[in-house]
Amino acid sequence: MLYGVKDLRIEDVEVPEVESGEVLVRVKAATTCGTDLKILQRGYVEKVIKLPTVFGHEWAGEVVEVSEGLDWPKKRMRVRAGNSAPCLHCAMCQKGKYNLCENMIWLWGAYAEYIKVPARMVLVNMQEIPQHVSYQEAAITEPLACVLHGAEEAGVKLGDTVTIIGAGPIGLLHLLTAKKKGAGKTISIDLVEERLNVARKLGADETINAGKENVVEKVRRLTSGYGADVVIEAIGLPATWEQALKLVRKGGTVLEFGGCPPGTEIKVDTELLHYGEVTVRGAFHATPLHFKKALNLIASRTIDVRPLVTRKMTLEEIKEAFEILSTTKSEIKIAITP
């Protein structure tokens, strides 16, 4: 069954009790994410999240309870964790593909006063937040971790022209990351002018409003007719997955990053792969190492995520927040505080 923003409501639930190895955290900030909206509107992989439930997955907070015998973290420590923890011993983990773990533990429930962190997650995917980093910045560790993993797959090299379809939070994080990886020219594409303005502020060299301009023609024009070295799709629609393939140069790489609805198929011109030697890659989620790296990059402000929070709202206003996200598209991320 599919739900919608109209089904969102605030309910009183029991404060979770911690068992062996677990930690209870008081949520101080949780950020909104397109994935949360997608889950509400079109469902998601059942293994990952089953509705109805408390949701939200980008958060940071203060430790209020630690199960007996656990010597880290300490009470009152500022932490972030999740939203996943691989088992480390399945076939995928043994291949080093921790993000594809067959027995992944997922944690949802950030839009709440308290969140209980499972034992395995305390061990492999929980970090202390440095004092100078705000809770809302630390909450953005999760999407940045996913983007870092994607950026590795895309293999941006020094001087590359990188085209990014989508200037929402993920597209903008890809933009910031590509610039740090040495992109020579960055091109951001979106339908919403406010988002393109943010992209320009964050350093996009060129922006294209896909509602007003011919995207393929303009990217060709900006790349001397060849296409971009790397194209990153950060929306999650079959039309933009296919469009990405038309924007890349021969021998270039397309990273299909945005998750499409279950069962989606796209058309790929075989000539593109054969004569054009184009590499097409997907990327899903992140490994504990990416989470750790992401928090470090946020803390050093190597990747400054502060401009991505364009509005703050309270937990009571959660429904309104998602109405804004689903209708206006003008906010990048809303930080929710209980």
Instruction: Assign residue 227 a region (left: φ > 0; alpha: ψ between -120 and 50; beta: otherwise).
Output: left
Calpha distance 159→227 (Å, rounded): 14
| Residues 231, 235, 241, 246, CA torsion sign | negative
Measured from the CB atom, is 58 or 206 closer to Zn ion?
Answer: 58
Task: In angstroms, give the least distance from the CB of 153 to Zn ion.
Answer: 18
Calpha distance 170→143 (Å, rounded): 7
Measured from the CB atom, is 77 or 100 closer to Zn ion?
Answer: 100
Measured from the CB atom, is 88 or 266 closer to Zn ion?
Answer: 88
Task: In angstroms, give the least distance from the CB of 213 to Zn ion.
Answer: 29
- Strands 185-190 and 206-209, bridge-based pairing: parallel
Task: In angstroms, give the least distance from the CB of 157 to Zn ion.
Answer: 27
Burial degree of 133 (CB within 10 A; 0-12, 13-18, 19+)? buried
37 lies in the site for Zn ion, by CB under 5 A:
no
Task: In angstroms, give the least distance from the CB of 98 to Zn ion.
Answer: 7
86 lies in the site for Zn ion, by CB under 5 A:
yes
The binder of Zn ion chosen from 8, 37, 51, 87 (CB under 5 A): 87
Bridge partner list, 23: 66, 117
Q: Say which residue the tokens 């200037």 belong to.
A: 167
35 lies in the site for Zn ion, by CB under 5 A:
yes
> Which segments within the chain are labelled E, that is strand?
23-31, 58-66, 78-81, 84-85, 105-106, 114-117, 126-128, 161-165, 185-190, 206-209, 228-233, 248-256, 279-282, 309-314, 333-337
Asked if 213 and 190 touch (Cβ cutoff 8 Å), the reply is no
The alpha-helical segments, DSSP class H, found in 95-213 are: 119-124, 135-139, 141-154, 169-180, 193-201
Measured from the CB atom, is 115 or 219 closer to Zn ion?
Answer: 115
| Part of the chain binding Zn ion (CB under 5 A), chosen from 11-19, 56-64, 172-180, 263-271 | 56-64
Site string for Zn ion, 127-156 (x = CB under 5 A): ----------------x-------------
Measured from the CB atom, is 86 or 150 closer to Zn ion?
Answer: 86
| Residues 86, 88, 90, 93, CA torsion sign | positive
Cα distances from 270 to residues 127, 267, 274, in angstroms, run: 45, 9, 6
Measured from the CB atom, is 24 or 101 closer to Zn ion?
Answer: 101
Enumerate residues 219-258 that contact Zn ion by CB under 5 A: none
| Part of the chain binding Zn ion (CB under 5 A), chosen from 35-43, 109-117, 250-258, 318-326 | 35-43
90 lies in the site for Zn ion, by CB under 5 A:
yes
Measured from the CB atom, is 86 or 252 closer to Zn ion?
Answer: 86
Task: In angstroms, give the least distance from the CB of 24 to Zn ion.
Answer: 22
101 lies in the site for Zn ion, by CB under 5 A:
yes
49 lies in the site for Zn ion, by CB under 5 A:
no
295 lies in the site for Zn ion, by CB under 5 A:
no
Measured from the CB atom, is 183 or 297 closer to Zn ion?
Answer: 297
Q: How far is CA 223 from the centre of its chain?
A: 28
Measured from the CB atom, is 77 or 105 closer to Zn ion?
Answer: 105
Bridge partner list, 335: 31, 312
**Total residues interacting with Zn ion, rule: CB under 5 A:** 9
Task: In angstroms, give the least distance from the CB of 101 to Zn ion.
Answer: 3
| Residues 37, 40, 45, 51, CA torsion sign | positive
The binder of Zn ion chosen from 60, 93, 144, 334 (CB under 5 A): 93
Residues in the site for Zn ion, rule: CB under 5 A?
A: 33, 35, 58, 86-87, 90, 93, 101, 143
